[in-house]
């Protein structure tokens, strides 16, 4: 096995030790999900070279190394899953520009808007248990969300999770970034004009979306961050995952935020204050485990009924095709579910999301039928690596190569050509 495709003996020992500790925990409390079998977690957290089938890992690694050398990049971590097993984990570049501290598969980054899939998953899991009703008015669960015309009595929790509240896009994100309270901002929405009736049009939100964290916390009787840790992260063996700024900064290795020009940025806590919208952190191994669970690989924690519900194409998002026009040769039918996007790519249905807060970018994309996909995290504001997911999909489907990351395109200082709604727009907002 080539060195660059290994987690490393020390790192793997930590994974095994952490999983062993999880396995020794007493019987789960009422607000916890039983932990996935220890032996299975150890297996899933390790790299399987025997499951490498369709991807040219040497070629991919070479392209990722070239990507990491771009002047807009600082550090990056990438994970690949084939057939439900992790087949590749690697880090590139540095945690801090010029520091010499290398990114490894244990380095923790921010997920930004990929966090929304966690909220959608947790809500659907609680709904399956009869603790939440996704079709109930959001007013039942969130005391702070006030919509125009009293629409909080008509908009459902499902509408919150699928961005169908009738508000204008990213409503009042600037107020959040200026330090105002999310709960107070949500009350301000009552004075806005509606774009449409709840449930009838799609418009991406962060602060309003986070009313789902209030719903989850209220029915469980525990803080959202604790519920997600007990019911999702721990049972899935995601030992580095957290939903707080402190969780990021306490990690033994964590990537600092940077501008496109590699200038260090101040770490902002704005989107940690709306944890359902953008608060998750983890290393790339744990993000790969999350993807395996989303593909049905850990049914004891996330069963197929939950997965089918959150991934279902609920609302068409045709504007995605404009922003992703570079990929229109193969990409079509963009939809949004409960915290998840879906597309048809070269005839295959794929699921994923992208994310961006100031100084960080993220992506997850997978084919649930093949149980294969890619996750990536990086710590600068460039969107250029945002073609890697489609290069991986092309390998999985045996399609002709396309330079989707535009590594070979002239210029060398590109910020990337994917105009993504998750990307920062003059501030630190998380978009999707």
User: How many Cβ atoms from other residues are within 10 Å of residue 400's Cβ?
Assistant: 5
Confidence grade of residue 40 (pLDDT, cut at 50, 70, 90) = confident
pLDDT tens sequence across 169-224: 999 999 999 999 999 999 999 999 999 999 999 999 999 999 999 999 999 999 99
Asked if residues 372 and 366 have their Cβ atoms less than 8 Å apart, the reply is yes
**What pLDDT was estimated at residue 421?**
39
Query: Which one, of 112, 131, 317, 128, lies nearest residue 209 by Cα?
Result: 112
Q: Which helix (H) or strand (E) holds 177?
A: helix 173-177
**Exposure of 113 in the CB half-sphere (CA atoms within 13 A):** 31
User: How many Cβ atoms from other residues are within 10 Å of residue 19's Cβ?
Assistant: 23
The pLDDT of residue 233 is above 80: yes
User: How many Cβ atoms from other residues are within 10 Å of residue 133's Cβ?
Assistant: 16
Confidence grade of residue 432 (pLDDT, cut at 50, 70, 90) = low
Query: Which one, of 137, 159, 162, lies nearest residue 150 by Cα?
Result: 137
Percent of the chain with pLDDT over 90: 84
Mean per-residue pLDDT for 346-360?
98
Mean per-residue pLDDT for 258-269?
97
**What pLDDT was estimated at residue 330?**
98
Confidence grade of residue 13 (pLDDT, cut at 50, 70, 90) = very low
**What pLDDT was estimated at residue 37?**
73
Mean pLDDT of the chain: 90
Q: Which residues contact 398 (CB under 8 A, 6 or more apart)?
A: 54
CA distances from 408 to 69, 205, 236, 288, 400 (A): 12, 35, 38, 28, 16
The pLDDT of residue 41 is above 90: no
Please provide the DSSP assignment of 367-403 as one string: ETTTTEEEEEEESSS--GGGGHHHHHHHHHHTPPP--
CA distances from 196 to 138, 144, 200, 402 (A): 17, 21, 6, 39
CA distance 20 to 147: 47
Domain assignments of the chain as residue spans, ordered by start: 3-53+61-114+221-310+359-382, 123-217
Query: Which one, of 153, 151, 135, 137, lies nearest residue 195 by Cα?
Result: 151
Q: Which residues contact 73 (CB under 8 A, 6 or more apart)?
A: 67, 93, 262, 378, 380, 382, 384, 385
Asked if residues 254 and 261 have their Cβ atoms less than 8 Å apart, the reply is no
CA distance 87 to 57: 9
User: How many Cβ atoms from other residues are within 10 Å of residue 409's Cβ?
Assistant: 11
Query: What is the value of pTM for the model shown?
Result: 0.90
Using a 10 angstrom Cβ sphere, with 0-12 exposed, 13-18 middle and 19 or more buried, the burial of residue 66 is middle
pLDDT tens sequence across 327-351: 999 999 999 999 999 999 999 999 9
Confidence grade of residue 28 (pLDDT, cut at 50, 70, 90) = low
Confidence grade of residue 39 (pLDDT, cut at 50, 70, 90) = confident
User: How many Cβ atoms from other residues are within 10 Å of residue 121's Cβ?
Assistant: 27
Confidence grade of residue 319 (pLDDT, cut at 50, 70, 90) = very high
**What pLDDT was estimated at residue 34?**
79
pLDDT tens sequence across 390-416: 999 999 999 999 999 999 986 444 444
Confidence grade of residue 35 (pLDDT, cut at 50, 70, 90) = confident
**What pLDDT was estimated at residue 430?**
52
Mean per-residue pLDDT for 120-143?
98
37 compared with 368, residue with greater pLDDT = 368
Q: Nearest 5 degrees, angle CA 349-CA 351-CA 354?
A: 140
Query: Which one, of 269, 270, 274, lies nearest residue 214 by Cα?
Result: 274
- 3-state secondary structure at position 363: strand
Using a 10 angstrom Cβ sphere, with 0-12 exposed, 13-18 middle and 19 or more buried, the burial of residue 291 is buried
3-53+61-114+221-310+359-382: CATH superfamily: DD-peptidase/beta-lactamase superfamily (3.40.710.10)
Mean per-residue pLDDT for 103-125?
98
The pLDDT of residue 325 is above 70: yes
Asked if residues 421 and 431 have their Cβ atoms less than 8 Å apart, the reply is yes
Going across the sheet that includes 341-345, the strands are: 85-93, 75-82, 372-378, 360-367, 348-357, 341-345, 331-336, 315-316
Confidence grade of residue 18 (pLDDT, cut at 50, 70, 90) = very low
6 compared with 377, residue with greater pLDDT = 377
Confidence grade of residue 33 (pLDDT, cut at 50, 70, 90) = confident
Asked if residues 218 and 181 have their Cβ atoms less than 8 Å apart, the reply is no
The pLDDT of residue 260 is above 60: yes
Using a 10 angstrom Cβ sphere, with 0-12 exposed, 13-18 middle and 19 or more buried, the burial of residue 415 is middle
Q: List the structure tokens of 90.
A: 């690697």
Mean per-residue pLDDT for 124-133?
98
Mean per-residue pLDDT for 296-323?
97
In eight-state DSSP terms, residue 414 is: -
378 compared with 16, residue with greater pLDDT = 378
């Amino acid at each position: 096995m080539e060195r660059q495709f290994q987690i490393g003996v020390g790192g793997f020992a930590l994974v095994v030790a952490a999983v062993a500790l999880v396995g020794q925990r007493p019987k789960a409390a009422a607000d916890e999900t039983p932990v996935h079998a220890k032996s299975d977690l150890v297996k899933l957290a390790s790299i399987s070279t025997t499951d490498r089938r369709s991807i040219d890992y040497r070629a991919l690694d070479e392209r990722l190394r070239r990507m990491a050398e771009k002047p807009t990049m600082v550090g990056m971590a990438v994970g690949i899953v084939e057939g439900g097993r992790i087949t590749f984990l690697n880090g590139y570049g540095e945690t801090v520009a010029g520091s010499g501290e290398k990114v490894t598969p244990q380095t923790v980054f921010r997920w930004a808007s990929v966090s929304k899939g966690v909220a959608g998953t947790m809500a659907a899991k609680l709904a399956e248990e009869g603790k939440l009703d996704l079709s109930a008015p959001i007013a039942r669960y969130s005391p702070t969300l006030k919509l125009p015309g009293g629409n909080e009595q008509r908009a459902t929790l499902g509408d919150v999770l699928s961005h169908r509240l009738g508000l204008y896009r990213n409503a009042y994100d600037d107020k959040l970034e200026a330090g105002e309270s999310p709960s107070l901002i949500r009350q301000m929405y009552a004075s806005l004009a509606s774009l449409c009736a709840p449930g009838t049009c799609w418009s991406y939100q962060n602060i309003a979306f986070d009313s789902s964290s209030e719903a989850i916390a209220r029915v469980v009787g525990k803080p959202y961050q604790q519920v997600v840790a007990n019911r999702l992260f721990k049972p899935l063996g995601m030992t580095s995952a957290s939903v707080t700024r402190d969780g990021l900064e306490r990690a033994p290795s964590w990537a600092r935020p940077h501008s496109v020009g590699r200038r260090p940025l101040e770490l902002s806590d704005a989107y940690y204050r709306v944890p359902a919208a953008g608060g998750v952190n983890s290393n790339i191994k744990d993000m790969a485990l999350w993807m395996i669970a989303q593909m049905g690989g850990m049914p004891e924690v996330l069963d197929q009924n939950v997965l089918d519900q959150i991934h279902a194409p609920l609302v068409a998002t045709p504007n995605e095709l404009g922003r992703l026009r570079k990929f229109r040769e193969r990409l079509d039918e963009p939809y949004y579910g409960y915290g998840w996007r879906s597309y048809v790519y070269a005839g295959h249905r794929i699921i994923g999301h992208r994310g961006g807060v100031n100084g960080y970018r993220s992506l997850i994309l997978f084919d649930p039928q093949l149980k294969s996909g890619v996750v990536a995290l990086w710590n600068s504001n460039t969107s250029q690596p945002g073609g890697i997911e489609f290069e991986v999909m092309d390998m999985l489907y045996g399609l002709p190569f396309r330079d989707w990351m535009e590594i070979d395109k002239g210029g060398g200082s590109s910020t990337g050509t994917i105009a993504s709604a998750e990307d920062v727009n003059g501030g630190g907002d998380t978009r999707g």
